[in-house]
Chain A
Amino acid sequence: MTLSGTIFWFVVLVTVGSALFAVVARSMLHATLSLCATLLGIAAVYLFLHAELAAAIQVLVQAGGAVLLILFAVMFSSKMQGEWWERGRKPAAIVGGGAIALLLFFVLSATIHALSGPLLEASGGAEAIRAPEVRDVGRMLLGKYMIPLEAAAVAILAALIGSMVLLKKEAR
């Protein structure tokens, strides 16, 4: 296996491992930190896909911003509750959730495996083309996808104003 293949499988292992730990951990702080590790692993996978802008935005916005927000919310709610730990879960929920998740994963992986012949053929020619650059993605964002970009900015503004309205204490 080449060096890039080894690094790729190491990154996949770290990402899936921290994702599984994040959904199982009883302490919310551990879950949040594992979420941060998973998001950074996904950013590394974006780098393998020649999507550098997506990797940078993932690190800045999600592993930086969303994790920070979740960390504040965890610390605030656990300070009020007096504990870090999530209460005990119902075994029916764990069994049902695990069954649904495993079934979904097996169905998806069976589909991917069944289609992997033509998918591998399509990926054979992927190295002969020019790798995409951030310049091309930027040209698309500011050219063809200008309206979705501005709409996303308006959506962010609306979400921030909505969050402030939701958290305003009303006089009772």
Chain B
Amino acid sequence: MLDSIALGPQALSNYLLLAAALFAAGIFAVIARRNAIGMLIGLLFMLNSAALNLAAFSRFSTVQGQPGRLEGQVSAIFVIVLAAVQTAVVLALVLAAYQTHRTVDMDEMDELSH
């Protein structure tokens, strides 16, 4: 394990471990947080960790003489843009629910119709 610490940015496993840590933090935020916007922050962490995984595998796939397979970077770009768009839609939902329930506390919104 110490040689992967010494390699740093040249070892694929370090990027995958960073993405795994971010994903675990995102899951904890979605499960343990009561605020709807806190859950949204966890969702953003999960999406970004997936995009980081894609970009890391794109960097470390070797094709002879070519700069690796760039599909991973393109997929990472799409995931980033669509994550921001999903944030906008989820915030619109949260604010629309707020207009009905007058709270963003998810534990109090446990009925479909007010």
Q: Which of A2, A90, A163 has the most CB of B within 10 A?
A: A163
Query: Which B81-99 residues sit within 8 Å CB-CB of chain A?
Result: 81-89, 91-96, 98-99
Which of A2, A12, A49, A89 is in CB contact (< 8 Å) with B59?
A49
- Please measure, in the bound complex, the distance between the C-alpha atom of A134 and the C-alpha atom of B103, giving whole angstroms: 45
- Please measure, in the bound complex, the distance between the C-alpha atom of A102 and the C-alpha atom of B32, giving whole angstroms: 13
Interface string of B19-42 (1 = CB under 8 A from A): 011111111111111110110111
- Please measure, in the bound complex, the distance between the C-alpha atom of A160 and the C-alpha atom of B86, giving whole angstroms: 10
Say how far A69's CB is from chain B's closest CB, in angstroms: 5
| Contact present for B7 and A5 (CB under 8 Å) | yes
20 A-B contacts, Cβ less than 8 Å apart? Answer: A5-B7, A8-B9, A23-B33, A23-B38, A35-B44, A38-B45, A39-B44, A49-B59, A62-B84, A77-B95, A86-B33, A101-B24, A104-B24, A112-B17, A120-B7, A123-B11, A126-B60, A129-B62, A129-B66, A166-B96
A93 within 8 A of B: yes
Interface string of A67-106 (1 = CB under 8 A from B): 0011001101100110000110110011011101110110
Interface of A toward B, CB cutoff 8 Å: 1-2, 4-6, 8-9, 12, 15-16, 19-20, 22-23, 28, 31-32, 35, 38-39, 42, 45-46, 48-51, 53-54, 57-58, 61-62, 65-66, 69-70, 73-74, 76-77, 80-81, 86-87, 89-90, 93-94, 96-98, 100-102, 104-105, 108-109, 112-113, 115-116, 119-120, 122-123, 125-133, 136-137, 140-141, 145, 148, 152, 155-156, 159-160, 162-164, 166-167, 169
Q: What are the 5 tightest A-B residue pairs by CB atom distance, in nearest-first order?
A: A5-B8, A97-B31, A97-B32, A163-B92, A132-B67
